[in-house]
Amino acid sequence: MKKRRIRKKRKTFLVLFLLFCGLAWFQSYFQQQSSPPLVKTDSFAAVKKYMPYIQDELAKYHLEEHTPVVIALMQQESHGLGGDPMQASESAGLSKNTITDPKQSIQVGVKHFQRVLAYGTQQKVDFPTIIQAYNMGAGYIDYVAQHGGKHSEELAKEFSLLQVKQKPTLYNCGGDKNNFRYPYCYGDFSYSTKVSKNIQLLVDTVPVTNSEKTPSGSF
């Protein structure tokens, strides 16, 4: 009698266990069906909406292959936000954020990129130097050309400090010594590194045509 009771208990326990597992599986299944699918956000979405304008401006200089580069520049400058997404006002000799029309910003920004690209090529510096020069100006190209022709954050710091010494009250990081750039407050010495990462992220995550791929050996 005792053995029969034990067997009945085991059988009852097994049935209850299987029933519990079945209910848990059905609950999990229906939750998955009713939950909205996870959507990966595109960090370049705001910038990509300007791609036709970027390509049109680059086409004026026959530089369409640099579309990913300019997208990466805009991503670093503004994430595609504001009236001056290329932060091109200062490169045009204007005060910061003077430009309020994104199309004008792209026009001026692409022209600035074309100038530093042409000058950097002439001076035979590497492509990261050209990217850094978008942020620090053509003077950085001269400095790198005099120091081996290859960009490094150390050279960018040296150049920044030279500009700070010339205008210490202007380039002081707003007096914020906790600013990561301090005391190298002219430009961003890590700019080329950041833009390079943007380009790689763009190439890795967004399909681009052959004409839009960064030229081999650019980075």
pLDDT tens for each residue of 51-81:
999 999 999 999 999 999 999 999 999 999 9
Q: Which residues contact 167 (CB under 8 A, 6 or more apart)?
A: none
Cα separation values, 20 from 11, 16, 184, Å: 14, 6, 65
Cα separation values, 39 from 31, 87, 120, Å: 17, 30, 41
**Rounded-to-integer distance, Cα 138 and Cα 119, Å:** 8
- The pLDDT score that the predictor gives to residue 11 is 57
Q: How many residues does the chain have?
A: 219
Residue with tokens 């120091």, as numbered in its chain? 147
Q: Please, which pLDDT band fits residue 5 given cuts at 50, 70 and 90?
A: low
Instruction: Quickly count: other Cβ atoms within 10 Å of residue 132's Cβ.
Output: 31
Write the pLDDT tens digit of every residue in 154-213: 999 999 999 999 999 999 999 999 999 999 999 999 999 999 999 999 887 655 444 444
DSSP assignment string, 55-112? HHHHHTTT-GGGHHHHHHHHHHHHTT-SS-TT--TGGGT--TT----HHHHHHHHHHH
- The pLDDT score that the predictor gives to residue 215 is 41
CATH of 45-212, one of 1.10.1060.10, 1.10.530.10, 2.102.10.10, 3.40.50.150: 1.10.530.10
What are the boundaries of each domain within the chain?
1-39, 45-212
% helix, strand, coil for the chain, step of 5:
65, 0, 35
